[in-house]
Amino acid sequence: MRHAWLLCALVIGCGPSSFDDFHAQLTKISCDRDVKCGVVAAAERALCAPPDEILAYATGAQIPDAVDGELHAHRLRFVSSGAESCLEAVRAAACRYGHAPGGEIALACHHVIAPGVGTGGACQGPGECIGGICVEPDPTQPGACVPYPVPGARCDPAALPLTQVVSCDPSVEYCGMSGPADLGAGDFVCLRHKLRGERCAADVECGFGQICTGGKCDLPPTLPLGAACDRQAPLCRDDQYCDATSVCAKLQKSGAPCDDPTSCQDGLACVGLAPGASGVCTPFFDAGQACTTGAMISGCAASDACTSGVCAPVTR
């Protein structure tokens, strides 16, 4: 058994053993990412913020302490494989887009916690019911798990959680018209989410992580290299940026000239960039390293400021 555990830990890379283990690993990996992305100086890891935003994706916005209690009461289940996928996404996510609602972290971290209460079982909040929702007629008493309607059953598009009115299972269904809405035909019924490439009229019709774009369900679009882009809301790929000519260009390597604060690869800052002057992609400076006071981009991490020619912690 011991040899099997070693194989799992050293070769296969098993997921976290518990929610507490996941929380601890996430805290470290999130801080590693903050250092890589220039949020915190390498010597100032104590300044890393708790990974609250990522935990919100992982727990459905529940308070971690409350999740611990529900896990111990078996109203929720910890999914080790989902937790490992979340950690891997945090490690790999691009600095610019990783935390966006449709970014890699949000998409990968939604299956860390799973429901643990079957139909008819006592429940105390959202996310506890397997294939259903917790209905609480009396908020002072535990509720009961009620199954979601089956596909084709009538539904209410304005249904709210924790009420007697139960809408469709959001993981596989949406509440839509059974006939053409503009003709007043049909009723609101639970319909299966559309697959990628299928025709749609609204985002709600598409599966998790997809949007309705160009009349079809698909992943949020990105622009190819050389495509025209909007610098206010660029959709260039993770290894690209929207350059000064509003075209998607490759991120620049260390030592390369740069023309925009976002033009360098992860871990680099466009040091020396100023109006009318380009900068040079340079690894973020650590606390105590020399920098140019007054520069538009000093190269210090966001936790520091260039004070008297040295990166020093920002006075709080």
pLDDT in tens, the chain (316 residues): 344 434 444 444 568 999 999 999 999 999 999 999 999 999 999 999 899 888 888 887 667 778 888 899 899 999 999 999 999 999 988 887 655 555 778 888 888 999 999 999 999 877 899 988 888 878 788 889 989 888 889 888 877 655 566 778 888 999 888 865 444 456 889 999 999 999 999 998 998 888 898 899 998 888 889 999 887 776 788 889 988 888 999 999 999 999 888 899 999 999 988 888 889 999 999 999 999 888 889 999 999 999 999 999 986 5
Do 37 and 65 have their domain in common? Answer: yes
Looking at 207, 232, 251, the residue that finishes a domain is 251
Query: What pLDDT score does 99 carry?
Result: 53
Q: Are 122 and 139 a contacting pair, CB within 8 Å?
A: no
Q: Which domain holds residue 311?
A: 252-316
Q: What angle do CA 149, 153, 154 make, to 5 degrees?
A: 105
Residues 256, 273, single domain; the answer is: yes
Element housing 146 (H / E): strand 143-147
User: Quick one: 88 and 44 in the same domain?
Assistant: yes
The answer as to whether 307 is a domain residue is yes
Do the domain assignments include residue 227?
Answer: yes
Residue 279 lies in a domain: yes
> Order of strands across the sheet with 257-258?
257-258, 279-283, 268-271
pLDDT of residue 48: 92
| Co-location of 93 and 110 in the same domain | yes
pLDDT computed for residue 183 by the predictor: 44
For 70-73, which contacts have Cβ atoms below 8 Å and span 24 or more sequence positions? Answer: 70/116, 70/124, 70/125, 70/128, 71/19, 71/113
* Entry field: residues in the chain: 316
Whether 18 is covered by a domain: the verdict is yes
- DSSP assignment letter at 221: P
* Residue 219 to residues 10, 86, 215, 256, Cα–Cα distance (Å): 34, 19, 12, 32
C-alpha–C-alpha distance, residues 282 and 254, integer Å: 5
Of the candidates 114, 132, 153, which is a domain's last residue?
114
Please report whether residue 182 resides in a domain: no
Number of domains present in the structure of the chain: 3
| Statement to judge: residues 234 and 265 lie in one domain | no
User: Would you state the pLDDT for residue 6?
Assistant: 43
Q: Tell me which H or E stretch contains 312.
A: strand 310-313
Does any domain span residue 120?
Answer: no
15: which residues sit within 8 A by CB, 6+ positions away?
Answer: 22, 80, 81, 82, 83, 84, 87
Predicted pLDDT of residue 243:
87
What DSSP letter does each residue of 171-219 carry, written as one string?
A: TTEEEEESS-GGGT-S-EEEEEPBPTTSB-SSGGGBPTT-EEETTEEES
Here the tokens at position 302 are 């966001």
My answer on whether 228 and 314 are in the same domain is no
